[in-house]
Structure 1
Amino acid sequence: MNLDKVLTRQFPATEHALTPRDCMLYALGVGVGERSDAKEELQFVYEDGLKVFPAMVNVISHPGAWVKDPELGIDWVKILHGEQSFTIHKALLPGETYIGTYRVTDVVDKGAGKGAMLYLEKTLSEKTSGDVVSTVTSTYVMRGDGGFGGTTESAPPLHIVPETPADDSISLATLPQSGLIYRLSGDYNPIHASPEVARQAGFERPILHGLCTMGVATRAILHGCCSDQPERLRSLKLRFSAPVYPGETILTEFWQDSSGVSFRSTAVDRKVIVLNNGYAEIAAA
């Protein structure tokens, strides 16, 4: 990796005109509509009073495959998505156009042969008003890099989920075709659609997008902790700890405190934790 090139990378502003169809398709991709007769579900998938599902801030105004730029020297084939967070300053609106601007904020070098971690920040703004609506951060585990130096010596600490029994939990099933629907919101990586590519990557079949699993957990938090009121969700962060296969049931456990909720999610049949170190800030009703 060329550290100087990575840290000074200039990202072009990315514009996204958010159509009602985009919003509904994204919501269907994360499984909204399971309770098809419930107004709490219809608010994200029906044009009458349509609201944008909060976690959609993760996918709009995407910067493209910038890590493939040869001058950066990144071994992009070995990159994993390690962590993700979003903070909502103002709700997204169907029909509005948004501008995404990006910057690399930190790179942690674990040492030669040990990999590195790259931290990318997206600021999402309304085109018409210029108002910042969301801040999104992504952490990438760069298994093929390391030994080049970095901006900091250690990664920020993760949120620790309590060891006590959970206060509550919600199970949500994913559809066998979840990955095929979700990819229509912009992530066309064939590992989520092609059995052959998935096997080449070491998986028995196509895996679900990590951000789709995050959307499923967000659904559970909205329903279990926000009374299905999306405006109450202020921020959410987590670590991706294992892949999910489309069709699996995801159990999300909650530990509530005065300002929010700690959480983790497990693939029920395999008893594997797939999302961990989660925390969501929630406004009072």
Structure 2
Amino acid sequence: MINYDELMAREFPVIAHSYTIKDTILYALGLGLGTDPLNPAHLRVTYERAEGFGALPAMVNVIGYPGFWAIQPDTGLTWQKILHGEQSLTLHAPLPAEGTLVSQTKITGIIDKGEGKGALIYSERAMTDQATGTLIATVSSTSFARGDGGFGGPSGPVKSVQPMPEGEPEVSYDFRTPEGAALIYRLSGDFNPLHADPAVAAQAGFKRPILHGLCTLGVASWSITQALAAGDFAALKHLELRFTSPVYPGETVRTEMWRDGAEVRFRARVVERDVVVLNNGLARLG
């Protein structure tokens, strides 16, 4: 069972995560970029000599990650029943194409939804450039601990959900994920066998390995900048969303967008199954 005070005070190690241009390119390839090798937009994130080469902002999701800490016995969590519910990222400065970022993770809130209803765990990770001390990014996550409600913790405040506009989207952008996307994306740090092993996927109730949710997030972030920022991937300054359904590698992700100045409301659906996989999305461009 969750001990609220102990979990809120949990200390995470400071992580110095060094990465190279090779890692930056590997992350982009894991999203499925590079499948159009003559496209200058693809080359800007997959070929180090391309004009304007740089790191995709969503790559901050895989830098300085403290690992699946919920599996540790002292957390009191039923780790087998934890789902990744929400994710957000904010870029305070451009992400260098290579370097070392120092990250610090902390738990910012735990919500008790009640016995049999689970708990929400809010966490935040700040990343600074080791060489300059510049704050580069803040990444926040919401985990849904389905088996851990009823521990006597606070029932709020619960993070509000971004509203979605009514009517048809103003802009849509389709991106077909490669069949082998999950096998490449996992090399950026998430080695959960659910994304590679057909037997493990079957045990979890899926017909085959699924794509990482953060990979789908990366696809959506790319799609937004291609559709609304003239292909300038560095224009993305903030992104937040809810995960609502998994994607199978090889499926087409359609990102649907409504723009209001620098803000973009969005969702994403799998075209082949007409299933919304990301929802309540908000992006800010700058």
Same fold (TM over 0.5): yes
Aligned amino acid, residue 169 of structure 2: A
Structure 1 residue 34 displacement after superposition: 3.0
Aligned amino acid, residue 245 of structure 2: A
Aligned amino acid, residue 29 of structure 1: G
Structure 2: 5+ residue stretches without partners: none
Structure 1: 5+ residue stretches without partners: none
Aligned-partner Cα distance in 2 for 1:122–1:144: 24
Match of 2:38 in 1: 37
Q: Please point out which of 211, 215, 220 is paired with 2:214.
A: 211
Structure 1 residue 154 displacement after superposition: 4.0
Structure 1 residue 5 displacement after superposition: 1.8
Match of 1:66 in 2: 69
Q: Deviations over 1:243-264 (max 9, x none)?
A: 1111111111110102211110
**Segment drifting more, 74-83 vs 221-230:** 221-230
Match of 2:48 in 1: 47
Alignment check: 8 A CA contact 1:5 1:71 kept:
no
Aligned-partner Cα distance in 2 for 1:24–1:73: 38
Match of 1:223 in 2: 226
Structure 1 residue 83 displacement after superposition: 0.4
2:172 matches 1:169: yes
Structure 1 residue 95 displacement after superposition: 2.7
**Segment drifting more, 136-145 vs 2-11:** 2-11
Structure 1 residue 216 displacement after superposition: 0.8
Alignment check: 8 A CA contact 2:222 2:233 kept:
no
Q: Deviations over 1:26-79 (max 9, x none)?
A: 000011123321222111111115300110001111101211121111101100
Aligned-partner Cα distance in 2 for 1:231–1:267: 25
Match of 2:29 in 1: 28
Aligned positions, number: 283
2:232 matches 1:232: no
Alignment check: 8 A CA contact 2:91 2:138 kept:
yes
Aligned amino acid, residue 167 of structure 1: E
SS of corresponding position for 1:43: helix
Q: Please point out which of 188, 192, 195 is paired with 2:191.
A: 188
Aligned-partner Cα distance in 2 for 1:243–1:100: 28
Aligned-partner Cα distance in 2 for 1:64–1:215: 19
Match of 2:276 in 1: 273
Match of 1:16 in 2: 17
Aligned-partner Cα distance in 2 for 1:95–1:239: 29
RMSD after superposition: 1.1
Match of 1:85 in 2: 88
Structure 1 residue 152 displacement after superposition: 4.8
Q: How high is the TM-score relative to the length of structure 1? A: 0.97
Aligned-partner Cα distance in 2 for 1:210–1:35: 23
SS of corresponding position for 2:220: helix
Aligned amino acid, residue 161 of structure 1: M
Aligned amino acid, residue 109 of structure 2: D
- Write out aligned runs for 1:253-272 (5 A): 253-272=256-275
Q: How high is the TM-score relative to the length of structure 2? A: 0.96
Aligned-partner Cα distance in 2 for 1:248–1:15: 35
Alignment check: 8 A CA contact 1:2 1:71 kept:
no
Aligned-partner Cα distance in 2 for 1:177–1:90: 32
